[in-house]
Every structure is written in structure tokens, then in C-alpha cells.
Structure 1
Amino acid sequence: MYLGLDLGTSGVTALLLGEDLEVVGRSDRTIQTDSPQPGWIEQTPRVLLAAVIDAAMEVMGPLPPGASIRAVGLANPGESVLAWDARSGDPLTPVLVWSDTRASEICERLRAQGLEPTLTELSGLPLDPYFCAAKFAWLLEHDAAVREAHTAGFLRLCTLDAWIIFQLSGQYFTDHSTASRTQLYDQVRGCWSPELLGHFGLPLGVLPEIRPSLSPLGMLNLGETQVPWHAALLDQVAALAGNGCFEEGTLKVTYGTGAFVVAQAGSLAAPAASGLLRTVGVNDAGGRTFILEGGVYSAGSAVQWLQRLGLLGHASEASALAESADGARLRFLPAFSGLGAPWWEPEARGVLAGMTAQTGKAEIVRGVLDGIASCVTDILVGMDQALPHLQRVRADGGLAQNGYLMQRQADLSGLIIERSTEHEATALGMALLAGVSAGLLSREQVQQRTRSVEVFMPRLPEAERLHERSLWKEWLAQAAALGSR
């Protein structure tokens, strides 16, 4: 049996596969997110750790006689970080979630010093508070407990996975795919960059070791059970595998808290085009592959916003409500935490425009879904430029179950959308990759397992689609500027 663990933003999912690779068990734990100040997005480390253990123990339950977990894989959200004390293993800070923008001041200062071109060239990433380096620098500057631990020589700064790994195995490491999201990683040499660390004012000794994502990683202690651990990866890379995207140029969109477009780029050495990110994908002892990525930071979180306002009951009601809208279409910019690729406007904020006295909740819900689909299409256009002949897109994640959104995505992009019938592609990908890493499964078996899809064909006439896209781009340029005024 194979166990996949997905440490997501809104919760933890544990997925157990039988020897036939069918799902035999699933367990979920919801994680609370706090926002004590505008732009601050936090979670409690011990709550996250308990959720991982509880979900894993529940799904393993009493295994059938003679059955055992042959391999486990752990996916993580990448840019979420914390500081902790090496003496006790205790957190010194909350987890700063990937969408936290408090480190904008660090980025602005480095930009004013003229360092942005150098940092981007070395790391392959734009200067943005989304990435870990600025968050680390902010913690070191503003948190007294962090500075005290640093002075004493016991400070550890890391992505969330490395602290979870330490708690469950006693080892302190991350993998190449996650390290490449920190803005402290040399993508050419595949190691921490002393020069990048120096620019951000960070010491090398506080960071974890970097290991291949697919390799024997020891034993993972889940409650009273030890399981052989064979895979640790960035969640978006795991979702590629869960969607059967192994070949160069294949692409998926995961619609979760955010919507993330990720494509296999092979051994691509050239810089990413069109404002996209180029970071490390699946890697093992044989070498590294790369991915191209762009993200819309507010997708599922925008639907949750509608729920908090009382405009929507359960998220599953959004599709039918949007279909029922008959008033004028609204414009919505899903930028509660700024805009990522290809715009890179961290100060942008959400905008809802075009309302009249006749606007109702159905029109607002439809406008939010349209805005998400439009921003994802902006990224898909960049992907098409970098990886020509793009025709099909795999889709997964909780928000992908929204039929209106999937059809709208097909219409606005002009691409065929193939929705995975497996709702949890990230956890599925981790379980399958763990089996591959352990030498128990082949990639052909994985691709065969992930072929089941539902198809949404574009229905919007091309001239109408291009007209809508033109109006959207003109409006977005104006709306994105409002957040910084």
C-alpha cells in the first residue's frame, strides 16, 4: 500500500492506495488561518503537525491482515515558512503562509538599492514577498525571539516541510523543488547561494540540508507507526504527477486556495518567459527536471470570501448560482494577496466593478468565478508562448469541481479542459511517486492510473473570445493599480 500526504493551505489530506493503486482510504483535517493584520497570513505550527499525524493515523487505521505501508510521500506548500529553536525543536514564530505579504518592505528596500536584477538572475525568481527569502529577513529583523536564537547559535529558518520533517524523523532537510522556491537557491549549481544569502542578510547555517526529492529518506514516525519514506516534494510538482503530466510540455491547473498553472519544462536552461517562474520539478539521484509556473493567489479563498459575506452557502452551490445570473457581467480582480505571475504586482488588491442597483448575489458569484478564469487564462497565454502547441489542460483541486468555472476556463482560454476524476491529485501524486522512488511502481503504471478525465470543450466563438480578452486586459491594467493608491 502507498500513502500520500498533502500538507495544504486549508488542510491536510492523507490518501491511501491499495496494491491495485485504487484509493482505499482518505482522511482530511481542516487548518485554521489567521490574519492579525492586513497582509499577514498565519497558521499555528503545532496544529499543522498534529493534523498531519492525525490524518495519517486515521487513514492507516487497522490495516488488512498482511498489509503494510510500502512507501509514503509528503507534499508541502513551498513558500510557507517559520523560525524555530534547535535546542528544543519548538517554533519561535507562527507559520507565515505563502500568501503573507508583510515582507514587502524588505523587497522595496532591496529594489531601491538596485539589487533586483542581480537577485532575479541568481535565483531565477522575481523579487517578491511571496518567496521565502524576504520572509526570513523580515523575521530576523522584527522578531526578538528569532534574533536571540540567532545570537545564541540555535536559530533555524526553513520552509514548513523541513520543520515537519524534523518533528517526524529527527532529520533537518528539504528537497530541491522546495529549496528552489526560497530565492536563496542557485538553480545552476543546485545548492544554497552564499551571494543570495548575503544580499538578504541571512546566515547559511540556519537553513536545512537539500536532498533529492525521490530517494530513500529514512523512516517517518506517524504516531506509533514507522513507515518507509521515499518522496518529499513541492505540492504543485506532486499534482503534476497526480495528473499524469510527465512529458515535457504537459500542463495542469490546480484550483485550490490559489489557482496554480504548472507545466513540465524538462531540462530547460533558458530563463522563464512571459513573467513565469522556472523552478525545480521532480529530481532524484539522476538529476533535476524543471517546471514553469504561474499562480493566481486568490481562487478558493475568493469563494470562501463570498461565503463569509453570506452571498454563498456551501461552495458547491457556486456553479448553479453563477449559471442563474442574468444581469450584466461584473469584473473581479482576485488579488486579496497581490498578483503573481505574469504581473508581479504585490500591492494590487481585490477589485469588484460594474455593479448596478439590479446586481444580485448570482451576478457577484459569477463575476468572481469569471475573474479567476480570466487570470488563469493570462497565465495560460504565457505558457503557450513558452511551450508552443498547447491544446489541452488538466485541471484538479476542490474548486475544479465547479462546472461553471471549468466551462468558462475552456471558453476564455480556447483550450480543452480535462478535469481529473481524482479530486486530490496532489496526495495521489505523492503516493504514486513514493512507489516509483521505492522501485515498486513504473511511470507507465502511474500514467495509466491518472488517465480518467471529464472534458470541457471551448464553446465561445473565437472572435467573441478575443474581444472579451482584450477588454479584460485593458481593465486589469487599471484595476491592478488601485491597490497601491
Structure 2
Amino acid sequence: MNADLILVLDAGTTSTRAIAFSLEGAIIASAARPLTQGYPAPGQVEHDAGEIWRLSRDCLLEVADSVGAPRIAAIGITNQRETVVLWDKASGQPLCPAIVWQDRRTADVCAALKAEGHEPAVQATTGLLLDPYFSATKLRWAIDHWPEVAEAHAAGQLLAGTVESWLIWKLSAGTCHITDATNASRTLLMELATARWSDEMLDLFWVPAEILPEIVDCAGPLASTQLLGQRVPITGSAGDQHAASIGQACLAPGEIKATYGTGCFVLAHAGAAVPASTHRLLATLAFRLDGVNAYALEGSIFVAGAAVQWLRDGLGLIGSAAETEALARSVPDSGGVTFVPALAGLGAPHWSPGARGLITGLSGGTTKAHLARATLEAMGQQTADLTDALRADGVAVTALRVDGGMVANDWLCQDLADSLGVPVQRPAVIETTAMGAAMLAAVGAGLFADLATAAAAMVKPDRSFSPQATDDERSARRAAWARAVRLTLDA
């Protein structure tokens, strides 16, 4: 039997999945498991790292059993970024809950460092801003507050990493403690220009270098696993947003994608030079191949699909996310309602971890349809905030490539085009995060010469949504949104 499939492990925030791709980009089989979300205190979000591993393992085995393990040529991994896992080197067991990227428990630490004037140096070195979103302050907090972690560190047994690092450690039976450069670039600890751990940042955040993984490329012979009953190489790895950008074939400067999952993340490919933002965007890696860095500018929205989940689970207004499309179409507008979904603070370009959600314009005539429409409209307005910042940083925004579970909603895609004033392009396979990991793994396994060749074979378009709103309509909506955001920030 020919090894003609790439098996991808997509370890996300709300679920972990395994997907088998053909070399033509078709999904052959998949399996998914929901992850338990832990909220031990306001502003705190945790996962069980042991559960992440067990469910990821089960998904991989289920898909391999479905397609036949001998067909798996290589494994690619993509993951929720910034989330940190700390484990015991000897036992291979997690020592504490994983602290999730959405977690805000270190907001005061970041505020203090900012007040001390450290942010310019942090941004110049890492491309990032001081925010509890990133990994460094989470790592330090865990060492300081969980005795099991401190004891393991004192005994020389502590290892740490982001989620892909933890999964590769487990898949390789504890033989590989590595992290790919895209995930490392999200920790506040990596020097962006060199893709090496920064001694200056390690000292600033009091993170011991010896607990961190080795930084490696995004493709190549990274590790291997015997999980499937035979040796299978792990040849691709990237953080979810970087993988989605690759899966959208954003491989040249100026090509832009937005992924709408739990949050929304916009990446604009910036080329071979480290970009600098003066409008509160992040400089990050697009990917690293053969020791060469490609860079991107990124804007992060903390709450996207999570706002729809809140309508469903928090308020009970809908039974499923899919209902929002029909509800949005059932009313001519939002009835004057504007929803700023700052349920976990505001990300770029505001970077206000203390901001809280706000709904304005309620009246006796407001219905759940108006609230659903306002929730979807917030996606377009938050994205427009980011594309405005990209333009101010010199990026020509001529189109937006979109992916993620939310963009199965045609109404949302059209509203994005109307909000941004540019065409919105959706691929045939919206699982572009997994697609990008598959492309990396295929290149790393030598099945394609480079990412451009992989994209030509695997990435297929679906449809494009052209703007239909007038400039006046777009401006009026932007003004209403700006007023609501000011109220949110002032609250």
C-alpha cells in the first residue's frame, strides 16, 4: 500500500482533531473530540494537558484505523498558540493545568512591566506587545504559584512548552523536546530576527532557559512516532494562525488571511525583513524553512466564534451557531444594536485586557434576531479595525482570504466584504489550518519541492464575495462601532 496521505493533528482551543489529507488537498477522513474548558476564576482559562494528549491520541488512532496506517506518509501538527504546558521530564505527566491563551491572570504583571518602560524593548526584540495573551508571564506565574512546578524546577525535572511541544514530546515517547519557530515567536521570549531564545527576555520574565524546548524549522525531519504501530515521521509544525495563512496560500508579501474560530486572527505576509508596526499590530513569523525566516504582521481578535457560543450557552438565545445566519437575514438591520464582544478583553489594535463586553442601542423592540445580527456584524467591524491598522502600516489591503468554522455562513462573508470594502475570498476547504499543516508536512517529507508547489496542488478556491454596501453605509456603521468601542474602553 502506497503512503499517499498526510495525517494532521489540529489541537485547537475548543476541540482537538485529526484529519487525513490527500496530496490533492481532499479530506479523506477525520475525527474530533471536544476539549473541557476550565474557568477557575474570572479572567482565568485552563485546559487539562493530559486530556489534550489523550484525546489527540484517540483522534490520530481513529483516523489511522479508518484509512490504514500504512497510507500515512507523514504527520503535521498545528495548535492553539500561547497556551503553556508544564510537565515532569521523568514521568511525562503534566504538573498543573495548561494556561490558555485567553487567560488574563497576569494582566497586572504586564501592566507593571509596561509602566516600568519595558514595552519598547520587548516589541523591538520579539515583535510583540506586553499582554497576558502571550506565554512568558504565564510560565513565570506557574512557577511562582504552583508548588509542584517549583519543586520540579528545583529538582531539574521541569519541562515547558506550547501545545505542539507537549504533543511532540508525547508522540516521540519523550525523545524530542522541540518547538517550531512560529510557536516560539508567540512566547515573548524569542528574538524575532534570529529565531533564538533571547537572553534579555528570559531575564526580564524570569523564565529559566533550561525548561524550554529547542527552536526548529516548520518543516523537515522534526521527530517521529510509533503511535500508529510503525514509525511515522513528524515533518510539519506551525501555530494555528501561521498554518492557516499557509493553507490559504498567503506566501507572498501583501497576501492577507483571516481565520474565524474561537477568536479571529488576521495575518498579512510581510516578506523576508522583520516588519515594524506603529499601529499596535504584532510582528511575527509567517514560517521558517531551511533556516530562513518569512515574516508577517498580525492582528488578534480575542472573541469571534466565542461570541456566538456565548449567545448559545450563556444566554440560551440559539440552539446552534448555524441559526445565526437565518436570524441575521430575518431582519433588515440590527435595529440600532451594537455589540462589542470584549468577553476576554480587547486585542489589536486596542490591547485592553481589562475591557468588558458592551451592548448598546437596546430598545423594547430588540429581538434575538437583532442580537444575533449585531454579533455577526461585530466580526466585520473588528476585522475592519485591523485592516485599517494594516493600511496605516503601509499594507495595501485589496482582498481578504477567510477561513475557519464561522465562514461557512454566507451572510457573514458578505457582511465582511461590506464592512471592509474589499472582496472576501473563501476556499473550497475551510479547514485551512489543518491544510497548512498538511502542506508543511508534505514539503518536510519531500513530497513537494516547496510550499508554492504544494499550494498549487492542494489549495482550491470556492467563491468570492464582492462589497455591496455604499461608502456612506460603511462609514455610518464604522462610526457607530467606534462610539461603542470608546464606551467599552472608558467603562
Q: Identify the TM-score tier after normalising by the shorter chain.
A: over 0.9
Aligned to 2:387: 380
**Once the 2 structures are TM-superposed, how far is the Cα of residue 87 of structure 1 from its aligned partner?**
2.1
Deviation of the 1:238 alpha carbon: 0.8
Alignment partners' CA distance in 1, 2:40 and 2:399: 41
Matching of residues 411-450 of structure 1 within 5 Å: 411-442=418-449, 443-450=452-459
Structure 2 distance, partners of 1:52, 1:177, is 21
Aligned 8 A contact 2:244 2:436 in 1: yes
Cα distance change of structure 1 residues 19 and 187 upon mapping to structure 2, 3 Å threshold = closer
Describe the shift of the 1:310–1:118 C-alpha distance in structure 2 as closer, same or farther (beyond 3 A).
same
* 1:22 CA drift (Å): 2.1
Aligned match for 2:73, one of 61, 70, 74:
70
Question: Retained in 1: the 8 A contact 2:168–2:223?
Answer: no
Return the letter of the residue paired with 2:316.
G
What's the CA shift for 1:448?
4.3
**Aligned CA distance change for structure 1 residues 64 and 225 (closer, same or farther; 3 Å):** closer
The Cα of 1:286 is off from its aligned counterpart by 4.0
- TM-score if structure 2 supplies the norm length? 0.94
Report 1:184-195 matches (<5 A): 184-195=189-200
Partner of 2:403: 396
1:226-245 equivalent positions in 2, closer than 5 A: 226-245=231-250
1:140 matched to which residue of 2?
A: 143
**2 CA distance for matches of 1:64 and 1:269?**
43
Cα RMSD of the aligned pairs, angstroms, is 1.7
Cα distance in 2 between the residues matched to 1:40 and 1:163: 21
Give the conservation status (yes or no) of the 8 Å contact 2:24–2:458: no
Could you tell me how far 1:426 is from its partner in structure 2?
A: 0.8
Alignment of 1:7-156 (within 5 A): 7-63=11-67, 68-156=71-159
TM-score normalised by L of structure 1:
0.95
Residue of structure 2 in register with 1:312 after alignment = 318
- Percent identity reads 36
Q: CA deviation at 1:440?
A: 0.8
Going from structure 1 to structure 2, the CA distance change for 1:190 and 1:18 (only over 3 Å counts) comes to closer
1:150: how far off?
1.7
Range with greater deviation from structure 2 (413-422 or 446-455): 446-455
The 3 A distance-change label for structure 1 pair 361 and 225 is farther
Gap runs ≥5 in structure 1? none
The letter for the 1-side match of 2:129 is P
Q: Please say if 1:371 is aligned against 2:374.
A: no
Residue 329 of structure 2 corresponds to 323
Q: Describe the SS at the equivalent of 1:335.
A: coil
Is it true that 1:260 corresponds to 2:265 in the alignment? yes
Q: Secondary structure at the match of 1:224?
A: coil
Q: Is 1:183 paired with 2:192? A: no
> How far off its partner does 1:473 sit?
1.7
Q: Give the counterpart letter for 2:263 in structure 1.
A: G
Which amino acid letter does the alignment assign opposite residue 474 of structure 1?
Answer: R
Maintained 8 Å contact 2:82/2:187: yes
Cα 1:219–1:312 shift into 2, 3 Å? same
Check 1:268–1:470 CA distance in 2 against 1; reply closer, same or farther (3 A cut). Answer: farther
How many residues align structurally? Answer: 481
Displacement of 1:108 in angstroms is 2.1
For 2:363 and 2:308, locate their aligned partners in 1 and report how far apart those are by CA, in whole Å. Answer: 21
Shift of 1:223: 4.7
Deviation string, structure 1 residues 50-85 (Cα, Å, up to 9, x no partner): 1211111111225369x5211211001110002212
Secondary structure of the 1:217 match is: strand
Change (3 A) 1:221 1:273: farther
Asked if the contact 1:39/1:100 (under 8 Å) is kept, the reply is: yes
Instruction: Please say if residues 334 and 372 of structure 1, whose CA atoms lie closer than 8 Å, have aligned partners that are also in contact.
Output: no
Q: 1:297 to 1:452 in 2, by over 3 A?
A: same
Alignment of 1:449-464 (within 5 A): 449-464=458-473
Given candidates 207, 215, 219, the residue that maps to 2:212 is: 207
- Deviation per CA, 1:134-167, whole angstroms, max 9, x where unpaired? 1111112211211122222222222122111111
Does the 8 Å CA contact 1:410/1:416 hold for their aligned counterparts?
yes
Look up the SS of the partner of 1:468 in the other structure. Answer: helix
- Quote the offset at 1:10 in angstroms: 1.1
The equivalent of 1:352 in structure 2 is 359
Q: For residues 445 and 80 of structure 2, what CA distance do their matches in structure 1 show?
A: 23
Counterpart residue type for residue 185 of structure 1: M
**Once the 2 structures are TM-superposed, how far is the Cα of residue 222 of structure 1 from its aligned partner?**
2.8
Q: Which region of structure 1 is more displaced relative to structure 2, 12-21 or 125-134?
A: 12-21
Asked whether the equivalents of residues 218 and 230 of structure 1 are also in contact (C-alpha less than 8 Å), the reply is yes
1:272-311 matches, cutoff 5 A: 272-308=277-313, 309-311=315-317
User: Which residues of structure 2 form unaligned runs of 5+?
Assistant: none
In the TM superposition, what whole-angstrom CA distance separates every residue of 1:366-386 from its partner, at most 9, and x where no partner exists?
111111221111111122333
Change in CA separation of 1:370 and 1:21 when aligned onto 2, cut-off 3 Å: closer
